[in-house]
Each structure stands twice: as C-alpha cells, then as structure tokens.
C-alpha cells in the first residue's frame, strides 16, 4: 500500500512538472507608468517611456553584470546547485536568510512573471520552475538581454537604457567603467544604493563592484584604482517637466516599499498632499536668498518642509535649491538627509523636564561648569563664548538658547532618558555613550522631515502623529486601488508641558536678550520658533509652528563645508520668515489655545529675589508652581508695561571681552538715548572694562531704572 502511494505521488509530481513545461509562459508584467498630482489635482510629474533603440547591449555591460550577479550564468541550466547548497548552509548557520543564491534566470522569472509576494519557500519553488522553463525556451543571450532590459535601477528607471539616461544623460554605449559600476551596484537594493538619494552608499557599493571586477580579471588593478579615486558625476536626465522631484522620488520609494503590488499596475496615479503653487513660490524664495548668501556666508544649499497641523499633511517639501545642480549634489534630498541638530532639540528637553515634575520657574545656574566624561572634562560655552547669565529660569534659558543651562538640565534629566524620549518621536540622534551631554547642542544628527514632525507635538498638546503624503492611488481607469489611512496617534507628553513650550517659544520679547528686537523671527501672527546652529557653523536651522502650519528650514552645504559665522537666525531665519508668510495669507490669524490650568503672569526674572525685584518677566505657570514661589514675593499678577532696559539686567556678570547690544522695552518715543557710566553711547558697546558699570536710557521725558552690571 505504502509503495503504491509513493509511486502515485511521484507520478503526480512528475506529471505536474511536465505539464508546467508544456504550458506556455504567462504574459510578462507590464511596465508601470506613474503619474503624480498635487493637492489641487494639478500634475506634478508624469513618467513617460524613455527612448528605446534597437542597438544591441554592449558586451562590457553583459560581462560586468554576469560577474556580479551570476558568475556561473553560462554554465548552469537556470539554477546553480553549488550556490544553493552554499546559501542554504549560510542561512542555517545564521538562522536567517543572508543569501538567496538566485541566478539571472531566476531573477528574470521574478521580474517578468511573479507578483510581489512574500518570499517564502513556495515562492522560491515557483521562481526555480520558471527559471528552468526560461532556459528551455530562450538562449543565454536572449535571457541576459531580457534581464538587462527589465532590471529596476531606481527612481523609475527600468532597464539599462532608462538608467543610463536617468543618471548620466547618455546611452549605455557611452558609459564609463565607473558609471557602469555605479548602475550595477544599485541592483540588489535600488533604494539603498541609489546615487541620487544616497551618494555615499552608492560610492561604497561602486568600489565593491570594481574590486570584484579586478579579481575576476575583467579590469586591471590600475583601472580599479583609477575609478575608485575618480568622482562619478551624476548628470540626471529627466526630459519631462518635473515639479518637486525630491518629494516625488522620496514618495515613490516609500510607496513601492509599502505597497509592492503597485508595480503590477499598468498606470499608477498618485494624488499627493503637496501644494504645487506653494512649492514653486517657496523654491523661488530659497534660490533668491541663497544667491545672496553664497559669497557672504558660503551657503550654497537649503531645504524646507511644511506640515499642515489640523489635516496632518505634508504641504511642502523642497529638498535643495536645484535638483540638477551637480556641483552641489542638488539631487540629495536635504529634508531626509541627517545633519547635526544644533539647538533645535532644546524644546524637547525642557518639555520632558516639566513632564517629569520640574517647574519652569525653577532656577538654572548658567555659569561655567565642567562635566566629567569618558573622554575627559566637558565644559560647554554659550553661543557668545564669553557670556554667562547667572541664575535664570527655564523660559529665559530656552527662548535665548543658553547652552550651559541646557547641558545642566540634560545632566539632571539624564542623557539616556532624553534619547529614549526622542525615540518616541521617531528622532534617532545616535547612541548616548558616543554623543555625551553635547547631544543637546548638536553632536547628534537628524533630518528636517523628522524634526518638523516631532515639533507638531507642541501645538497638538503632546500627541505625536506622523504626517500623510498622499490621499489615494488609482489605476488607469480611475479605480481607487489604495486609499490612505490616518497614521496612528500616540500620547508622548502631558498637555501642560506641551502648552508651556508653545507659550515660551511664541514669546517674542523673551528672546530679546540674545536676538535683537525686530529680528526675522518676529512675524505678524502667533508663532512658536526655535533656531539651531551646529558646531563650526555647518548647519543653520529654524523650526517653528503656528496653530495651522509647522515649518522647518535648513541652510548649509550638502557636503558639510562650514558657513562663515552664520547662525540659524541669520542663515535659515530670512527664508523661514518669507515661507511662513507665504503659507499664512489669511487676514485673521489663529491664536494658540491653551486648554490646561496654566496662567500667564509676571514674575521676577531672577529666581529667589524677594524685596529687590529689579525686573519682571512673563511666565506661564500652574497653581502648584505659583504656590511654590509665592513666598519669595516674586509674583506680580498684573503685568506692568514700564519703559526699562531689557538687556542687560542688574546683576549680570560679563567677561571683559564681551560685547553688549543694549536693548529696551516699551519706549514712549522712537528716539532712545543710552548712557553707560554717565556717558552718552550708542546701543552697541564693543568692549567693556573690568569693574561695576551703570546703564540707563532716556526716551521722551522718561528715564529707565539704572541697571548695574559687573566685569570681574
């Protein structure tokens, strides 16, 4: 009985295999055409077939590809038994799939006949059977030609002719060895090794290809060394009009990864959230501003990203000033490229501290301090290296971006705790043991897209939600094949802490100790704003939000060349201001609404002042926080708008090389006269001597209280 059953199963299996080989091959998949629309249904980009010729594929391309993809291609019958055994051994020893042992015939089977399904055992069997069938129907020359014509090289380039034009604006015959190695290098992972999106990864992969070619004798050692040292210049060719190319290629990569079945469609129509009109206007603003800063600040690139907060949609993504600017790597999307964060992480630190029980009225001692570390003592400086601000509260320290205060607070909260909190916002700046306490000042890296997304937790009162970038996807008949769903929301911060950050960052006056009155961060409607400047002035950031829009701007150089002493407010600030105004043309601006128990009031600027309260500042405190400091008589529930010196303040201590920009608040008249130790001066004092100094100002018939400062 068992013998009969075994014979029967064997006959059925052989019959199935014979039937498989007798039946004709299925119709190959059609190449997908993608069309992208903006939020108003205007076309952003419509892919069209690249030019095709009947010219044969050069032998050098075939030889170079076979060495990398399937060195035994001309010696097997569709499957490579030795490679399969070797791959099986590797997969078993690693307890995961590290090698697939796919031949070119198997890969062509996948490209032509098999839909995008999970790569399991059944899938592999089908792939092998189709490969065997291809080998019986076509010659090796036909198989390699069909394979090269159907490979996905990324960014919509299918086949070597499309890829040659897409990346280098030339025919396959004209490709250099370095260019060919770059293209072949994309095959295992077109997204990861794409020279437009990830140039550094592409270079490493290209060099690996060249090394294998040398080992195989395809090129000489001298040729290998030459093409490793030679920069491969990308000269992207996109013949049709394309708007927002960085957004389109980023989005297409996300969609093909998330919805692989789209590649089986004849036409894919994507209705995106981007605003084409706003994109064009924002790009024009960026180009004009950078043109002015190229000589002055050595700034050659910029990026901007905006998210509609109520609708949770990406409305703007400008990845660089010019996608086709080869000299400055314009094809790199600087909204998704990681850069040093500078100080734009500080609001998250203060929010976390308040969330964990700290009072924003608490004291931070902003004075020179050394912190122990595995690399030796770490002594941070403020942006103005010779400036320290003494006893300050959270609001002043955050809005004026004091570095020493931030490092002290990070030390109190805990670096690991802070980094883990950032991860709940999908911010991954690096490992704590490598970054150290300087993480809050920019030793870590993140991209603009993730940063702007994280900032939306403040106007959303502590709720985090990644933005959407498309509404729906339909086929050539208009039938919806994918409808977007809202991303999952999660509570990451209590409402009170989020509201405090919004209130503090939207207080223009509180920034005047560092940012002079009338700076580019001041706009005609409520806006909460934070700047950032990385070490050596390599990156300028401004990230902020209104109740409607979160907007971030980055300015710098793609390859990391430092700017000429350009800070976030100087470099990214003007661009941020103009794009912010572009996005907010409604005449009745919304105000921030605070739905917790915080109250706006005036308190003494200096913590622990009692009877001698020399200056009052705005605060936003809960009843518990008010009661905590009420006994010090530092609360004044009625704000007094008196003519006074806003910077510096009595009790401030300065280095003798410090420079002072004198500032006032509420002058009764436009004309203001400043006096320093009894002598009339301009509002800028380039150098101050040691000792006690008195400062006051006169406007109209009013005089400010005298401010006393010290230079030890």
Q: How confident is the model at residue 633 (pLDDT cuts 50, 70, 90)?
A: low
DSSP 673-701: EEEETTEEE-SEES---SEEEEEEEEETT
Phi-psi region of 654 (alpha: psi -120 to 50; beta: other; left: phi over 0): beta
User: What is the spatial distance between Cα 164 and Cα 607, in angstroms, rounded to a whole number?
Assistant: 66
Give the angle 672-677-683 at the CA atoms, nearest 5°.
35
pLDDT in tens, 327-378: 778 888 999 999 999 999 999 999 999 999 999 998 898 888 898 887 888 9
Whether the Cβ atoms of residue 371 and residue 348 lie closer than 8 Å to each other: no
Number of neighbouring beta carbons within 10 Å of residue 618: 15
* Least confident piece of the model among 200-204, 456-460, 688-692: 688-692
Helix (H) or strand (E) holding 481: strand 480-483
Read off the pLDDT of each residue in 528-557 and give the average, rounded to a whole number: 93
Q: Is the pLDDT of residue 10 over 60?
A: no
**Maximum separation of any 2 CA atoms in the chain, in Å:** 117
Q: Assess whether the region 31-260 and the region 641-712 belong to the same CATH fold.
A: no
User: What is the spatial distance between Cα 447 and Cα 341, in angstroms, rounded to a whole number?
Assistant: 8
* Third-level CATH fold of 313-583: Beta-lactamase (3.40.710)
Q: Is the pLDDT of residue 529 over 90?
A: yes
Question: What is the residue extent of each domain of the chain?
Answer: 31-260, 313-583, 641-712
Class of the CATH domain delimited by 641-712: mainly beta
Read off the pLDDT of each residue in 640-665 and give the average, rounded to a whole number: 73
User: What is the spatial distance between Cα 304 and Cα 289, in angstroms, rounded to a whole number?
Assistant: 13
Q: Distance of alpha carbon 31 from its chain centroid, rounded? A: 31
Work out the mean pLDDT of the chain and round it to a whole number.
Answer: 85
Quick one: pLDDT at residue 630? 74
Q: Is the pLDDT of residue 638 over 50?
A: no
* Least confident piece of the model among 257-266, 270-279, 450-459, 474-483: 257-266
Quick one: pLDDT at residue 281? 97
Options 1.10.10.350, 3.90.400.10, 3.40.50.300, 1.10.3810.10; CATH of 31-260: 1.10.3810.10
User: What is the spatial distance between Cα 311 and Cα 347, in angstroms, rounded to a whole number?
Assistant: 23
Question: Between these two residues, 68 and 30, which has the higher pLDDT value?
Answer: 68
Q: How confident is the model at residue 127 (pLDDT cuts 50, 70, 90)?
A: confident
For 8, 14, 323, the CA distances from 2, given in Å and listed in that order, are 10, 18, 69
């Amino acid at each position: 009985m068992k013998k009969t059953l075994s014979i029967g199963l064997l006959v059925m299996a052989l019959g199935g295999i014979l039937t498989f080989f007798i039946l004709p091959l299925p119709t190959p998949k059609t190449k997908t055409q993608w069309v992208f629309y903006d939020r108003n249904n205007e076309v952003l980009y419509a892919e069209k077939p690249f030019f095709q010729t009947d010219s044969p594929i050069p032998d050098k391309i075939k030889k170079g590809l076979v060495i990398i993809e399937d060195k035994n291609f001309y010696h097997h019958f569709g499957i490579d038994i030795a490679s399969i055994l070797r791959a099986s051994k590797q997969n078993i020893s690693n307890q995961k799939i590290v090698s697939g042992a796919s031949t070119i015939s198997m890969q062509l089977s996948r490209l032509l006949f098999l839909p995008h399904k999970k790569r399991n055992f059944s899938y592999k069997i089908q792939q092998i059977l189709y490969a065997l069938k291809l080998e019986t129907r076509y010659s090796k020359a036909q198989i390699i030609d069909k394979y090269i014509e159907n490979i996905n090289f990324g960014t919509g380039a299918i086949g070597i002719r499309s890829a040659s034009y897409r990346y280098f604006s030339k025919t396959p015959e004209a490709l250099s060895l370095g260019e060919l190695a770059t293209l072949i290098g994309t095959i295992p992972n077109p997204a990861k090794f794409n020279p437009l999106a990830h140039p550094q990864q592409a270079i490493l992969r290209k060099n690996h290809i060249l090394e294998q070619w040398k080992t195989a004798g395809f090129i000489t050692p001298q040729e290998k060394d030459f093409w490793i040292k030679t920069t491969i210049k990308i000269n992207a060719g996109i013949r049709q009009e394309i708007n927002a190319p960085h957004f389109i290629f980023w989005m297409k990569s996300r969609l093909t990864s998330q919805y692989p079945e789209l590649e089986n469609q004849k036409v894919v129509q994507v209705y995106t959230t981007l605003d084409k009109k706003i994109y064009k206007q924002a790009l024009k603003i960026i180009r004009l501003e950078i043109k002015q800063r190229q000589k002055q600040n050595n700034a050659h690139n910029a990026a901007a990203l905006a998210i509609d907060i109520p609708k949770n949609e990406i409305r703007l993504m400008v990845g660089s000033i010019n996608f086709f600017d080869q000299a400055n790597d314009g094809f790199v999307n600087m909204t998704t490229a990681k850069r040093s964060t500078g100080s734009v992480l500080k609001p998250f630190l203060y929010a976390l501290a308040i969330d964990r029980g700290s009072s924003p009225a608490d004291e931070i001692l902003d004075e020179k301090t050394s912190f122990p570390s595995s690399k030796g003592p770490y002594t941070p400086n403020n942006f103005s290296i010779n400036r320290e601000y003494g006893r300050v509260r959270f609001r002043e320290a955050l809005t004026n971006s004091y570095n020493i205060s931030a490092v002290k607070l990070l030390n109190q909260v805990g670096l690991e705790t802070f980094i883990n909190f950032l991860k709940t916002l999908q911010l991954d700046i690096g490992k704590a043991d490598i970054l150290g306490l300087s993480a809050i000042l920019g030793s870590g890296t993140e991209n603009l897209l993730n940063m702007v997304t994280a900032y939306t937790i403040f106007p959303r009162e502590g709720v985090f939600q990644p933005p959407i970038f498309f509404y729906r996807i339909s086929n050539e008949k208009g039938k919806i094949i994918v409808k977007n769903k809202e991303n999952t929301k999660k509570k990451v911060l209590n409402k009170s802490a989020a509201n405090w950050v919004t209130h503090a960052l939207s207080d223009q006056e509180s920034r005047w100790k560092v940012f002079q009155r009338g700076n580019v961060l001041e706009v005609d409607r409520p806006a909460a704003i934070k700047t950032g400047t990385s070490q050596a002035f390599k990156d300028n950031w401004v990230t902020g939000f209104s109740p409607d829009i979160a907007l971030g701007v980055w300015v710098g150089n793609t390859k990391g060349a430092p700017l000429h002493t350009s800070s976030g407010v100087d470099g990214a600030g003007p661009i941020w201001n103009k794009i912010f105004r572009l996005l907010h043309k409604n005449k009745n601006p919304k105000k921030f609404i605070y739905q917790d128990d915080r109250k706006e009031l005036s308190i003494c600027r200096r913590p622990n002042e009692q009877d001698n309260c020399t200056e009052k500042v705005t605060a936003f405190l809960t009843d518990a926080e008010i009661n905590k400091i009420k006994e010090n008589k530092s609360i004044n529930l009625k704000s007094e708008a008196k003519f006074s010196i806003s910077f510096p303040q009595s009790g401030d201590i300065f280095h003798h090389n410090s420079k002072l920009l004198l500032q006032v608040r509420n002058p009764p008249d436009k004309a203001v006269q400043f006096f320093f130790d009894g002598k009339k001066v301009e509002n800028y004092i380039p150098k101050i001597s040691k000792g006690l100094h008195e400062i006051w100002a006169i406007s109209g018939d009013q005089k400010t209280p005298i401010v006393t400062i010290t230079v030890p």
